[in-house]
Structure 1
Amino acid sequence: MTRKSEQLLEKAEETILQHRPRDNADAVLLTMVIAENVKVGTRSDAHDLKALARLQDYLAEGLPNRPTRIGIMGSA
């Protein structure tokens, strides 16, 4: 992979991690990116941890007794 390709891939990953899921397809894509980061270790910028918090919020929205995050992941 060329340096330019690596930079484009990094930018795409950041974009995915920095937005809140709009639908289930977005949520699945987000879990895929987060899972890859977990395999190699978390990102130094913590975008993956913040994305995980946004994913938790998205998934909890439809629940009748919506649980709240307990602060383990920080704020989104």
Structure 2
Amino acid sequence: MNATKYLARILEPVTRTMPIDFAHRLANLQADDGIQQRITILRAKSNQGMLSPDEDAEYKEMVEAIDVVSYLQAKAREVLAR
């Protein structure tokens, strides 16, 4: 079972009972400017193969967090589409 399937199973009770007002806020959630700038910097360094080990770990953590938020946003959009 891949990570997305585990995530779906773990979060299913939350997404099943998601209130509409929360779904609206979640669907429109964006990282603040500081985080967006940091992601941009780390992405560029990653593409150039210039990340330090600490930066690589930081970037991987950010990508994982973005994946979770993106999954939740998709579920929020499903709630709003109903």
Normalised by the length of structure 1, the TM-score is 0.39
Normalised by the length of structure 2, the TM-score is 0.37
* Structure richer in helix, relative to its length: 2
Higher relative contact order at CA 8 Å, sep ≥6: structure 1 or structure 2? 2
Larger Cα Rg: Structure 1 or Structure 2? 2
